[in-house]
Amino acid sequence: MSTTIVRRLTPEEEELARKKAELGQLENELAERELYLTTLRAEISVFQSRYLRGVGVLYAELDEWNAKIAELKAKAEGTPEARAAAAEARTQAEESSSAVHGEDAAAKEFTPSAELKSLYREVAKRVHPDLALDQADRHKRERLMAEANLAYQRGDADTLKRILEEYESSPESVRGTGTAADLVRVIRQISQLRRRLVQVEEEITNLNSSDIAKLKVRVEEADSKGRDLLAEMAEDIQGRVDVTRRRFEVCVAG
């Protein structure tokens, strides 16, 4: 008759098992929030591009006409105040022009697939910098996560797969053994992930409270009611542009 002796886990091993379970839950939670944050950034970027192309370009035109009027006034009056106002108006016009012709106005539509989201979650769970156990590993993870964020926003699933393969086959992905050392590592990883979760939530809050995000919500609410809020804004600003252009023409003729 054979007798099988089942070794009981030591208190340290039991604690390690609990901490590993906690770590796994945090990894999943952080991956979801990182996915949400990266998606939110991309969606706001796309909306900002749409806004700049449809509305911002008209604001830029309006600022340009106002700058021309201010410059005519400065030339006619010659006072320091008029020259300062003209300089300020010209700066505003240049900033508006730069905004509507810069990278923010060129963002493409962003509709991530289920596969793309799943790949990003996996990258975030396996490669996230806050899972690093030393500085060299952190640097590698930070580089790969930066590449992953760009790949996700481009819809590049192949690059996300490559990033996973690169890290999983790297020496940094191999971990040592030993209950005491493993427990310390897991506890530190848990602490790092909790800190990152707080940072992610702060970034999400800041993004959602930005003016462009609030406008995005208003536009989406208007869309649900059959209104094109951006088109209405564009029509209003176009009217102001027409009025200001006529003012400039009167100033030149006078």
* The pLDDT value given to residue 151: 93
* The pLDDT value given to residue 78: 87
Q: What is the mean pLDDT of residues 214-241?
A: 96
> pLDDT digit string (tens) for 94-138?
998 888 887 555 566 778 899 999 999 999 998 899 888 788 888
The amino acid sitting at 189 is Q
Name all contacts of 92-97 with Cβ < 8 Å and 24+ positions apart: 92/63, 92/66, 92/67, 93/60, 93/63, 93/64, 93/66, 93/67, 96/56, 96/59, 96/60, 96/63, 96/64, 97/60, 97/63, 97/64
Residue 83 pLDDT > 80: yes
Close Cβ partners of 217 (under 8 Å, ≥ 6 residues apart): none
> Average model confidence (pLDDT) for the chain?
89
Pick the more confident residue, 36 or 8: 36
C-beta of residue 129 within 8 angstroms of C-beta of residue 40: no
C-beta of residue 115 within 8 angstroms of C-beta of residue 157: yes
Closest CA to 164 of 118, 210, 225: 118
User: Where is average pLDDT lowest: 4-13, 52-61, 183-192, 196-205?
Assistant: 4-13
Highest mean pLDDT among 1-5, 114-118, 219-223: 219-223
Q: What is the mean pLDDT of residues 246-251?
A: 90
User: Where is average pLDDT lowest: 129-133, 168-172, 190-194?
Assistant: 168-172
Residue 34 pLDDT > 60: yes
* The pLDDT value given to residue 2: 58
* The pLDDT value given to residue 188: 84
> pLDDT digit string (tens) for 16-25?
999 999 999 9
* The pLDDT value given to residue 174: 55
Q: What is the mean pLDDT of residues 132-150?
A: 88
* The pLDDT value given to residue 231: 96
* The pLDDT value given to residue 4: 66
Pick the more confident residue, 5 or 125: 125
User: Where is average pLDDT lowest: 79-83, 201-205, 224-228?
Assistant: 79-83
Q: Whole-angstrom Cα distance, residue 39 to residue 155? A: 11
